[in-house]
Amino acid sequence: MSDSTIALSVIFGIVAVSSAVAFYAGARYKMDLEQWSVAGRGFGVLLVWLLMAGEIYTTFAFLGASGWAYSRGAPALYILAYLALAYVVSFFILPYIWEVGRRFGMQTQSDFFEKRYGSKYLAAFVSLVGVAFIVPYLQLQLTGLGIIMEVASYGGIKRAVAMLIAFALVAAFVFASGLRAAAWISVIKDLLMLFAVVFVGIALPYHYFGGIGKMFAALVAAKPTHLVLPGSTKVMGESWYISTVLLTSFGFYMWPHLFAASFSAKSSDTLRRNAVFMPLYTITLPFILFVGFTAILVLPNLTNGDLSLLAMVQKTFPAWFLGIIGAAGALTAMVPAAVLMLAAATLFAKNVWRLIFAPTMTDDQVARLAKSLVVVITALALYFAIYSSTTLVALLLTGYAGVTQFFPGVVFGLFWKRVTMPGVFAGLVVGIATVAFLMLGGRDPFLGLNAGFVSLCLNFVVTVAVSLLTPAQASAFDEPVRVAP
């Protein structure tokens, strides 16, 4: 057997077995809208935690982080800071979101905006923006899958074809089983990823340099500026670092699927305790960076940094091992892709289409619409994935620039009485318009700052100013809790 056959067989074997386990887990349930999209809200704490914690182990961390360590250097360090800080932010907002969520029976982020600000147009706009910025995140996962197949086939399968296959796999997976399968498969995915990352993060520097410390000593001698901001870029300096860490740590739980996941926790105290310990889950990320740094000296001429982890494994280990690492990578792309597709499709069908255009739709009709939307949204992401050449991390930052614009509306909604619907609406529109203007116009970073952060600041200013200029509104959140007799 050729190397590519071995590697690809191992990948498909592991993915197939994991999917079978997941399908089995989902097969006992009737797939109505609730089951398919939120697994009937019946997840225990452990499954919720795995889904939420597993969120950081996506293709972004696996291939993207090592890719930026390779191509950018020090700017990749922002990834270590923002995840730990995202949990710190979550400590102060998720318990409050959970409490209003339970009081008003909320299912989605859009429900939060509708209840707090009393406008279905704002709620629909929030959903629409959420769906729009899920597309680059989905594109990231599909690109990652494409890269894995390309490397594992030793170049035999071209990237675009590989992404088409990947798209078919994930869509079939989502169609057949919904969220419950995704949760179970993420158990397998996290274990495999944990092993893969720590093993290659230690083994590769030892193999080529005799240790992690020796690898860094060699790297510092060869490329002294790579490990200090702005690394091997010209524009990602200290102000870029600070603004990017702030944007992404504020934005983490603004992703529609993560925001909604907090509703399924058992209590607000569970969310607080999770927030305390979650930073420890990110301790594997330095190992991923080690791989990217090692690759600089061993494989200096890669065309794309995102290839660095897999190319290193391919160069160093036999084909079957590349297959195992490739399978870990494939699962870290497929599970988040499935969750993102589900979230985007359900959000659009339920909180945009039914809310505004077809209030009489039944849940079954919404579920059918959502399933067909899975294909549309993924095809869109696939189109972008094939026709653009952005790095994986840049794709994620585009998503963050968009979803973090929800932050003022959420935080003021919870903690500031005087905020009004027109204020939040205007702030959000200005924020998104600024993101589009700066990022599509290639003006990121802007004046040394992350363009998404600049947009967020404008968003805050406009939200506050317009709120103060418009008449105060009563908030449903402030109504006294009616205790059942």
Partner 1 sequence: MRYPSVRAMLLALLPFIAMCFSVPLWDTVYPLVLGLPFSLFWLTAWILLTPLCMWGAYYLERAAAEKEGRRP
Residues that bind partner 1 (CB under 8 A): 74, 77, 80-81, 84-85, 87-88, 91-92, 96, 211-214, 216-217, 220, 224, 227-229, 238, 241-242, 245-246, 249, 268-269, 272-273, 275-277, 279-280, 282-283, 286, 289, 414-415, 417, 477-478
Q: Least distance to partner 1 from the beta carbon of 88, Å? A: 5
Complex with partner 1: residue 77 or 369, whichever CB lies closer? 77
- What's the closest the beta carbon of residue 453 comes to partner 1, in angstroms? 12
What Å distances lie between residue 82 and 136, 144, 192, CA to CA?
A: 19, 21, 24
Question: What is the crossing angle of helices 319-348 and 3-27, to 10°?
Answer: 40
Residue 100 or 385: which CB sits closer to partner 1? Answer: 100
Cα–Cα distance, 138 to 338 (Å, whole number) = 9
Round to whole Å and give the CA distance between 104 and 114: 11
Min separation Cβ 3 and partner 1, Å = 33
Three-state SS sequence of 329-366: HHHHHHHHHHHHHHHHHHHHHHHHHHHHHCCCCCHHHH
Continuous H helices in 388-420: 392-403, 407-415
Measured from the CB of residue 320, what is the shortest distance to partner 1 in angstroms?
31
Residue in the block written with tokens 């067909």: 372
- Looking at the Cβ atoms of 127 and 274, the one nearer to partner 1 is 274
Closest CB to partner 1 among residues 77, 466: 77
Residue with Cβ nearer partner 1 (263 or 453): 453
| Shortest CB 114 distance to partner 1, Å | 19
Q: Which residues contact residue 233 at a Cβ distance below 8 angstroms, ignoring those fewer than 6 apart?
A: 72, 73, 75
Smallest distance from the beta carbon of 441 to partner 1, in angstroms?
27
Q: Measured from the CB of residue 236, what is the shortest distance to partner 1 in angstroms?
A: 12
In the complex, minimum distance from the CB of residue 36 to partner 1, in angstroms, rounded to a whole number: 34
d(CA 274, CA 133) in angstroms, rounded, equals 26
Secondary structure of 243-276 in HEC code, one letter for each residue: HHHHHHHHHHHHCHHHHHHHHHCCCHHHHHHHHH
Is the CB of 175 or the CB of 477 nearer to partner 1? 477
Task: Tell me how far, at minimum, the Cβ of 413 lies from partner 1, in Å.
Answer: 10
- Return the number of the residue (280 or 465) whose C-beta is nearest partner 1: 280
Q: How far is the CB of 300 from partner 1 (least distance, A)?
A: 19
Count of beta carbons in the 10 Å neighbourhood of residue 305: 25
Residue 74: phi and psi, rounded to 5, are -50, -35
Identify which of residues 42 and 211 has a Cβ nearer to partner 1 in the complex. 211
Q: Which is nearer to partner 1, 246 or 309 (CB)?
A: 246
User: Which pair of tokens denotes residue 403?
Assistant: 């979803």
Q: For residues 443 and 451, is the Cβ–Cβ distance under 8 A?
A: yes
* Residue closer to partner 1 (CB basis): 224 or 359: 224
Q: How far is the CB of 85 from partner 1 (least distance, A)?
A: 6
**Residue 57: alpha-carbon gap to chain centroid:** 9
Ramachandran sector of residue 448 (left: φ over 0; alpha: ψ -120 to 50; beta: rest): left
Contact 351, 110 (CB under 8 A): yes
Question: By C-beta, is 25 or 84 nearer to partner 1?
Answer: 84
- In the chain, what is the straight-line distance between the N-terminal and C-terminal CA atoms, in Å? 72
Those residues whose C-beta lies under 8 Å from the C-beta of residue 354, and which sit 6 or more positions away, are: 361, 366
Residues contacting 122, CB < 8 A, separation 6+: 113, 114, 421, 424, 425, 428
Rounded to a whole number of angstroms, the minimum distance from the CB of residue 52 to partner 1 is 16
Q: For residue 213, give every residue at least 6 positions away whose Cβ sits within 8 Å of its Cβ, in sequence order, or none.
A: none
| Shortest separation between residue 282's beta carbon and partner 1, angstroms | 6
Phi, psi values for residue 235, rounded to 5°: -110, -10
Identify which of residues 89 and 185 has a Cβ nearer to partner 1 in the complex. Answer: 89
Distance between CA 179 and CA 294 in Å, rounded?
Answer: 37
Toward partner 1, which CB reaches closer, 14 or 61? 61
